[in-house]
Amino acid sequence: MQRTTIFADPDLMRELKQLARQQQRPVAAVIREALGQYLASKRQRGRRFSFTEMGESATGDLSGRVDAVVREHLQQEFERERQSWTEELRKRGEA
């Protein structure tokens, strides 16, 4: 393993320490697990979302709203990407 340093908001650290205590695990183990899950979710980006999952609508009227649902999902995904790129450019001093 490689050692690293991160900066986190006090509220986030408080929540992290509380979770680690509840699970009786070291904070570092919780961070490693969370980071692994986050990176795994990014590797699955080609999946986007499952149409079979979309079919499990609680309201039962999804078929009539599929265009709106897809549009909303794509807008949310675009916004996440835009924020990610903006942050990356900010780190590089290009924004």
As a whole number of angstroms, the distance between CA 64 and CA 26 comes to 48
Compute the average pLDDT of residues 5-18.
89
Residues of the chain with pLDDT > 70: what percent?
76
Is the full-model pTM beyond 0.85?
A: no
User: Is residue 17 pLDDT above 90, yes or no?
Assistant: yes
∠ CA 33-85-32, nearest 5°, is 10
